[in-house]
Structure 1
């Protein structure tokens, strides 16, 4: 229990004081000092995740003083920042770890000083930390099986990888390879690295296609692979789009809608009935981690491992949202008008456990 938590415990336990005085004391308690430690931030998902953490902090502004630091894809810098956060009096640290193991000594030191540590999306192995993650093995397995089936379990596949070294990329790639290995007639012809970035993925795919053609490709798999592969096919005059999985971007889901589903939508960011399965890490994992950290600081029991919702969206289940309110999201809408958000923006933001955050939280960091 941190010193600030202990002080709050004493305030809440002063039963002999008048109720009005107890309420006033609680109201004047200082908010918890919470740090958000981000590593790689070069994509839309990380920006959206940061927005949702910020929105959760605003929703609990009486409890949270949030400070954000970015280390980049360098484990040593993130370690240094975590150590500095502890020295600065952190009550909780919410971290997107660049490595599942490299940060463990710094996390262990933080825990020893009474700091509550939550890793989100990408996990850590230090036992004192909490992890809020998407089941990456399930995500990769389901999406790879879908792509394999749409390929009739044969043909050439482009296999797109993400940020190397993270538990997310490692778990996904391992699980997907196991699926495709079951079908000897599926051949992985290229393994470009997209770094979970639309711009990087487009460049990587363009380089692959410089020595091949879409006629030689029967399927595509991997994060940030679908919007760019379909866009490149359309730009090349292709009309028979290849099956793709599994990013959760709004661009992918809009392209999966039937032609004409959105009036005025033109270009490649428009409904075209593209064959895909959309599954992605939930960008609200950090927001959930912050909410659970407040529970731990309040003395509540929280499980060490929390899984985020994982809902597959296919061409048969894609559904356009009207306003993106929390109520609409939990009722099943899963895609947004392209006039509202860019193609690389992630649409899988629904979570029944966080009514504080919805469309505006993910877009601009404002709670419901």
Structure 2
């Protein structure tokens, strides 16, 4: 498909890759043809591409810090990851391990992959709880926290572990049900914005205008990434507001965020002019 776009002579290509290197040859073809190539959500190593992404490692650190604080720096923790070997998955898990390494009394007693699937996460968590109910905390990536919560709800545990949540409608709505039934229920989830695609579009528009990136703005493991701000979180303080945002939404709906023009301008040497784009 990218080759077809190159042949059509498009000005820019925005991709959401599932591998850091697989598309490098065709990306280089596009760059050699003078096409602006933006990778969103997942970083690629192709030197001619520009990644417009959140910092996945910091995204995971945020919830790991919360969990460590909730546990008082000690406890047995289960980690529910996504797809083993996927770059985003590995970057997130590295962030979690970094945080827990600062707390020697936090032990990861089990780590499973649930492939960013709620049903799989529920099954894997149910299996773990059946064999090891003495768990103090659960850290899970987004796309799985609702499944983890459902497994805990069905486990009949006398005392629930503290769980990292997610900024998705299904989890938020289910957490509200739990609060109504149990009273106090700690919640925390970090937004992983689908709107990073629109943020990538805004960057592409500026590059097509001839606006140049500020020296040093490209960072990351391949020195070709623009890290856009992580747009927020779900927590105890803003839960009511976040719940209203997902009212009537399907379970798969994700809280979102798009880079503002002010944030965009920090990357470029000239004023930005994203006429008609979401602010």
TM normalised by structure 1 equals 0.61
Number of the residue aligned with 1:346:
254
Q: Deviations over 1:259-297 (max 9, x none)?
A: 45xxxxxxxxx9964313211321100111123212222
Select the residue among 236, 244, 249 that pairs with 2:155.
236
CA change 1:142–1:286 in 2 (3 A) is: same
Equivalent residues in 2 for 1:49-68, closer than 5 Å? none
Number of the residue aligned with 2:138:
220
1:95 deviates by 1.0
CA change 1:225–1:198 in 2 (3 A) is: closer
| Residues 1:112 and 2:23 are matched in the alignment | no
CA change 1:339–1:137 in 2 (3 A) is: closer
Q: Distance in 1 between matches of 2:20 and 2:185?
A: 35
In structure 2, list runs of 5 or more residues that go unmatched: 219-224, 262-277
Number of the residue aligned with 2:204:
293
Q: Distance in 2 between matches of 1:113 and 1:188?
A: 48
Number of the residue aligned with 1:190:
110
Matched residue SS, 1:192:
strand
CA change 1:122–1:240 in 2 (3 A) is: same
Q: Deviations over 1:186-231 (max 9, x none)?
A: 2212211122221222222233234233xx1111112134322222
**Cα contact 1:99–1:166 (8 A) shared by 2:** yes
CA change 1:272–1:287 in 2 (3 A) is: farther
CA change 1:184–1:255 in 2 (3 A) is: same
Select the residue among 97, 105, 117 that pairs with 2:17.
97
| Residues 1:314 and 2:225 are matched in the alignment | no
Q: Distance in 2 between matches of 1:225 and 1:273?
A: 22
The Cα RMSD (Å) is 2.8
Q: Distance in 2 between matches of 1:87 and 1:103?
A: 16
Q: Which stretches of structure 1, 4 residues or more, deviate above 6 A after TM superposition?
A: none
Number of the residue aligned with 1:165:
85
Aligned residues: 252
Moved more, 310-319 or 167-176: 310-319
Matched residue SS, 1:164:
coil
1:337 deviates by 6.0
**Cα contact 2:118–2:145 (8 A) shared by 1:** no
Q: Distance in 2 between matches of 1:339 and 1:271?
A: 21
Number of the residue aligned with 1:121:
41
